[in-house]
Structure 1
Amino acid sequence: MSAFDEAITFSQAHEIPWPRDPAADPARWGVHHDDPPPFNRLRGPVHVRGGVSGVIRVRGKEVAAWGEPDRSDQTYSVAKTYLAILAGIAQSRGLLKADERVSDRLPGIGFDSEHNRAITWEHMLTQTSEWHGECFGMPDQVEHNRRVSHDPKPPAGKKGELRKLHAPGTYWEYNDVRINQLSLALLHLFRKPLPEVFLDEVLRPIGGGHDFRWEGYDDSWVEIDGKRIQSVPGGTHWGGGISISARDQARIGQLLLDGGAHEGRHLVPREWAQRMPVPSQTAPFYGLLTWLNGDGRMFADASRSSWFMFGAGGHTVWIDPDHDAVVVARWLDGAHSKEFVSHVARALG
């Protein structure tokens, strides 16, 4: 009998009320329905999902698993954190500096306006950029005034309603269009498909990658060095995004918990891995595309050192340095995530 049986049973009893087949009841599946028309539609592929699954690792070893931990499912905004990992790899190669302006490195891809010229890579990675424009036909305004469950501030207006922009670095907003613009910028840095980079530099070296997919929108193709490459989104808000197993998510969480190292080799620079959960000045609940529990507001029973990757649809990757643990939960109804975390916290001791 596992110490985590109570948490596992609880999660299995609280599956998110989305249909498992997106085609079965489209109006109850996904998050794009909340967007103002004509942007409330899917633009990339989606597929049938599995049920509640999860993996728990303690001190580097898997101690519990449930559901279908090897099933590859779309993971929504957990993919944002993978973009932050790629940015760290880019910095280690001299392709970017976190505090430099994106426009200095990449003119001509949407950072050249008077407002956008001041945006740094760190602004993009902390969701404080206030980037303004269109990314593959999607204006940033689509995500103005968006409210997500762990955002402590109330929205200033109706979602999609134009609001006054703030200076880059001074205002936090969860905005998937800006995340997609960050992904496009990283593609221009690496000059090769990001799914290929992520597989080669992260997933395969840690023993993962089976059935991994990272898909873009039907129209998100660009030409770089004479090659047609698909730019991929940092989530599945409008379809596409990353499909990955719970075990691979746990492997990635373990990599970050271990300071970016696997079997003595740093796949992600230690300094970068340590920086990812550092609170941003503008939004102390947020690091580099990661959520933080420093004040215990998100999860009172989780350690204050805990940090998280979240995705719509009930996806959580929880990294707990105090207990040397990584916890992955998938397709868990978000209304019950706090209770699930409390169950796991008690088992961790």
Structure 2
Amino acid sequence: MLRLRFHISAALPIAALAFLPALAGCGEPQEEPLPPLTETALAAVNENPGAPRDQLAREVDELFTDREFGETRALVLMHGGKIAAERYAPGYDADTRFVSWSMAKTVTAVMIGMLVADGRLTLDAPAPVPMWQRAGDARSEITLRHLLQMRSGLDHTEAGDPPYESSEVRMLFLDGRGDMARWAKEQPLEAEPGEQYEYSSNTTVILADIAARALTDSTDPQTRRKAVADYLEARLFGPLGMTSMIPEFDASGTLIGGSLIHGTARDWAKFGEFLRTGGSSGGAQLVPRQWVDAMTTPSPKSEFYGYQTWLNRDSGIDRDKSKADRGPDTLFAAVGHMGQYILVSPEQELTLVRLGHSDSEERTRMVGGLFDIVELYPAD
């Protein structure tokens, strides 16, 4: 759901500036002066944010006040590891937990990377799903890498018309809700494993089930929940100081790793910073840097997607197609339903978190507003 690049207006040639007063005197329309910044707008930005303070305050303010962007509920901007700007809509604050929606997929990818580094999972071996390993079952060719890159070939349709026919809705709310991973794993192939990209929340729940099976042999739901929750806390949330995080599980004890992890805006920013620094925090390497590199490398079947992570490439989604590219090629993102974004730009030492509620048309405009902020910062 992401295309993170937009048009950058070219500056007027210096020679043309000399004619502006004369043109204005000939009755040419002049630009309206910008309204003064409110105390609320200025208070959201630190004294030394690493970019022009008033301009940054204005861009942040627009995300909260322009109704064409939808409803922005929280924004946290990190630059060089420090908070440069932070703001909340009325009714929300630094202690409010926000639902991840599909930003959770990127968390799940990190957990899988840790288990691979631990030697509990193998990236290019057949995915350890027992029901696929029966004789003659072509699903036995699906690997962990295929799942991470959304190219399993399974018949998963993320969006349906009517909505209740989508694989995601059926898994989360209808016939699959009791054991989401089982429902997702039971679906047949619609393409040869590895040959076709198709975004799928069902696929991420399969990954979450694989993680649980790597951590415990038990089928008891409470044991499975505890094994995954304890692992995330010990290996990721705890070391990063993400104290607000609440992951959700289904009735079988599988993490709903494609859509339901809750946390504060600051904690989501900590997760973005962890990715920005290549999987490290406080001098400790929590996941191999090579894994974060792989997460942010285009897959063979989708230049805009890595391991459960969106890349700043053409996807035709969440962008204004009438405008040109914006932002560094190295920028990547965790993206959630209705406008949840963690934008990470290592070149600019930036992490930008925006949480709220925007429909598809509003998101196209709102992502442009996010890049108005990104482009205030020079790249290395």
The Cα shift of 1:182 comes to 1.6
**Runs of 5+ consecutive residues of structure 1 not aligned to the other structure:** 19-50, 134-140, 145-161, 222-229
The Cα shift of 1:87 comes to 0.6
Q: Residues 155 and 189 of structure 2 are in contact (CA less than 8 Å); yes or no, is this contact kept in structure 1?
A: no
The Cα shift of 1:301 comes to 2.1
Instruction: Report the 3-state secondary structure (helix = DSSP H, G, I; strand = E; otherwise coil) of the residue aligned with 1:53.
Output: strand
Residue 304, structure 1, aligned to residue 324, structure 2: no
Partner of 2:347: 322
Partner of 2:83: 62
Q: 1:339 to 1:132 in 2, by over 3 A?
A: closer
Q: 1:58 to 1:17 in 2, by over 3 A?
A: closer
Give me the whole-angstrom Cα distance separating, in 2, the residues matched to 1:309 and 1:100.
26
When the two structures are superposed, what TM-score results if normalisation uses the length of structure 1? 0.72
Give me the whole-angstrom Cα distance separating, in 1, the residues matched to 2:276 and 2:103.
16
Residue 6, structure 1, aligned to residue 58, structure 2: yes
Instruction: Report the 3-state secondary structure (helix = DSSP H, G, I; strand = E; otherwise coil) of the residue aligned with 1:55.
Output: strand
Instruction: Report the 3-state secondary structure (helix = DSSP H, G, I; strand = E; otherwise coil) of the residue aligned with 2:375.
Output: helix
Residue 142, structure 1, aligned to residue 166, structure 2: yes
Q: 1:11 to 1:89 in 2, by over 3 A?
A: same
Partner of 2:10: none
Q: Residues 11 and 52 of structure 1 are in contact (CA less than 8 Å); yes or no, is this contact kept in structure 2?
A: no
Partner of 2:233: 199
**Runs of 5+ consecutive residues of structure 2 not aligned to the other structure:** 1-41, 46-52, 157-164, 169-186, 217-223, 320-324
Partner of 2:96: 71
Instruction: Report the 3-state secondary structure (helix = DSSP H, G, I; strand = E; otherwise coil) of the residue aligned with 1:122.
Output: helix
Give me the whole-angstrom Cα distance separating, in 1, the residues matched to 2:230 and 2:266.
19
Residue 126, structure 1, aligned to residue 149, structure 2: yes
Higher helix share: 2
1:152-167 equivalences under 5 Å are 165-167=190-192
The Cα shift of 1:336 comes to 2.4
Instruction: Report the 3-state secondary structure (helix = DSSP H, G, I; strand = E; otherwise coil) of the residue aligned with 1:235.
Output: coil
Residue 257, structure 1, aligned to residue 276, structure 2: yes
Q: 1:7 to 1:195 in 2, by over 3 A?
A: farther
Q: Residues 268 and 342 of structure 2 are in contact (CA less than 8 Å); yes or no, is this contact kept in structure 1?
A: yes
1:51-70 Cα deviation digits (max 9, x unpaired): 61011111111111111243
Residue 107, structure 1, aligned to residue 125, structure 2: no
Give me the whole-angstrom Cα distance separating, in 1, the residues matched to 2:83 and 2:315.
26
Structure with higher Rg: it is 2
Q: 1:7 to 1:198 in 2, by over 3 A?
A: farther
Give me the whole-angstrom Cα distance separating, in 2, the residues matched to 1:205 and 1:215.
20
Amino acid at match of 2:190: L
Give me the whole-angstrom Cα distance separating, in 1, the residues matched to 2:211 and 2:343.
25
Amino acid at match of 1:283: S
Give me the whole-angstrom Cα distance separating, in 1, the residues matched to 2:268 and 2:99.
12
1:284-305 Cα deviation digits (max 9, x unpaired): 1100001111459666221111
Quick one: which of 295, 315, 321 aligns to 1:276?
295
1:159-195 Cα deviation digits (max 9, x unpaired): xxx9971101111111112221221111111225323
* Number of residue-to-residue matches in the alignment: 276
Give me the whole-angstrom Cα distance separating, in 2, the residues matched to 1:130 and 1:215.
27
Instruction: Report the 3-state secondary structure (helix = DSSP H, G, I; strand = E; otherwise coil) of the residue aligned with 2:376.
Output: helix
1:292-328 Cα deviation digits (max 9, x unpaired): 1145966622111100110002100001011011110
Amino acid at match of 2:312: N
Amino acid at match of 1:171: Q
Displaced runs of 4+ in structure 1, greater than 3 A?
A: 14-18, 110-113, 141-144, 294-299
1:59-118 Cα deviation digits (max 9, x unpaired): 111111111243111110000000100011001110112111113xx424x564612100
